[in-house]
Amino acid sequence: MRTALAGQIVARAMAPTHVTGIGIVGTGTQARMQLEHLMPVTECRSVTVFGRDPQRLKGYREFAETLGFKVTTTEDAAVVAMNANLIVTATASREAIIMSDWVRPGTHITALGADGYGKQELDVQLVARADVIVVDSADQCIKFGEIARAMASRLIEETNLVALGSVLSGERRGRLNDRQITIADLTGLGVQDTQIAKCAVTACSRH
């Protein structure tokens, strides 16, 4: 739930003005929760889902259709980039799934899967091409986030990174226009868990 809500918050801050299609890379629980939590952010109800298992894709289609989405399922990740300008990646991949050449100007990508060493979902050239890169923690993302390989290859520098907190506070701007490619690299923060726990304890104490 923490990760799903983080995806929603990022989408509110970074998504293009007009979402023409949602793309989901992955078919697991988090991929489902991300779609659910995007519903308050955009009126778009067209989703393209990438997965490697036909049965899991079938299950995702049935789930998304119950939410009111028009669903396209595919085993070709390029179709996601072709159909969507708001993309969420939620896999455990250790190699790039979304390639730079596929992504259109104006697309926002929230990358969730690279939460440990060696994981990767985005082409390093795509990371380097992005106009804005937002991170939840620069230290974590540089070590094992989606941007880690691009940093190691010296395709980007730490000065290219924008802290998500500074965007949410208004100190920094995220997306400047609807032609920009924006990426949010989310590795997960313990402070978020702490705040959720505080809210839960407060709610319980009231009852």
Which pLDDT tens digit goes with each residue over 146-199? 999 999 999 999 999 999 999 999 999 889 999 999 999 999 754 455 555 555
Listed by start position, the domains of the chain span 2-206
Q: Is the pLDDT of residue 143 over 70?
A: yes
pLDDT for residue 192: 54
Mean pLDDT score across all residues of the chain: 92
pLDDT for residue 117: 86
Q: Is the pLDDT of residue 42 over 60?
A: yes
Stretch 128-145: mean pLDDT: 94
- The CATH H-level (homologous superfamily) assignment of domain 2-206 is NAD(P)-binding Rossmann-like Domain (3.40.50.720)
* Stretch among 1-5, 15-19, 48-52 having the lowest mean pLDDT: 1-5
Could you give the C-alpha distances from 24 to 4, 65, 76, 99, 130, in angstroms and in order? 13, 14, 12, 15, 19
Q: Is the pLDDT of residue 203 over 70?
A: no
Single pTM value for the model: 0.91
Work out whether the CA dihedral 145, 151, 153, 155 comes out positive or negative: positive
90 touches 24 (CB < 8 A) = yes
Which pLDDT tens digit goes with each residue over 62-87? 999 999 999 999 999 999 999 999 99
